[in-house]
Homo-oligomer: A and B are copies of this chain.
Amino acid sequence: MINFFRKKRKIVIDTSVFINPDIRNFFGKNPEEAIEEFIKIAKKAKTLEFYMPTTVFKELMYFLDEEKIPRDFYFLMRIKSPDKHRSVCPVIFFYELVEEIRQRVNKGLRVAESAVRSVTQKNTEEVIKDLRKKYREALREGIIDSKEDVDLIFLSMELQATLVTGDQGLIKWADKLGIEWIVPEKFKDFLLSAIQ
């Protein structure tokens, strides 16, 4: 028997659970199948509550045919942004982000300089292609760099929820705030364990 007075365990879900093939494959061959399978299991997990920030939900819709999403999805997946105007965050988190960005920005300049120096030996378009890749690695990977990232972190913080994402950088930053997280590859097992 379910105790309705017990507070449910909250889960904040990133798009990667349904989109990133390495994680999604635990649920299905494509995003639609993955969502269907997720819903089938999640419906039975009465002690869990699922959340997705608005920006992340919109990102998900970008990958999916909305008509193929089972209707239950909208009941099961609660769509909610963090209360960003009232929530607060330890100032130290800010220091760490600024420090990380500073290092990344310096690295980005080094990447750009080395691209410029390589033009004499290589085809310009190849250099540009390589520059874009390396610049992205230097400045984007492993850092919080989008509204979606910030939403996932602060919604998890606000709800005291467990964060499920395939983005290691996001886990690293969520962890600094004491946010609970689970290995995304184990998310299906996690759900199945909640049913037993």
Contact = CB atoms under 8 A, between A and B. Distances in A.
Contacts of A127: 116
A101 B101 contact: yes
Given A124-B117, A135-B109, A139-B108, A95 B101 contact: no
A4 interface: no
Contacts of A90: 84-89
Interface in A84-102: 84-95, 97-99, 101-102
A11 B115 CA distance: 46
Contacts of A146: 98, 102
B115 A124 contact: no
A131 interface: yes
Interface of A: 82, 84-95, 97-99, 101-102, 105, 108-109, 111-113, 115-117, 119-120, 124, 127-128, 131-132, 135, 139-140, 144-147, 149-150, 154
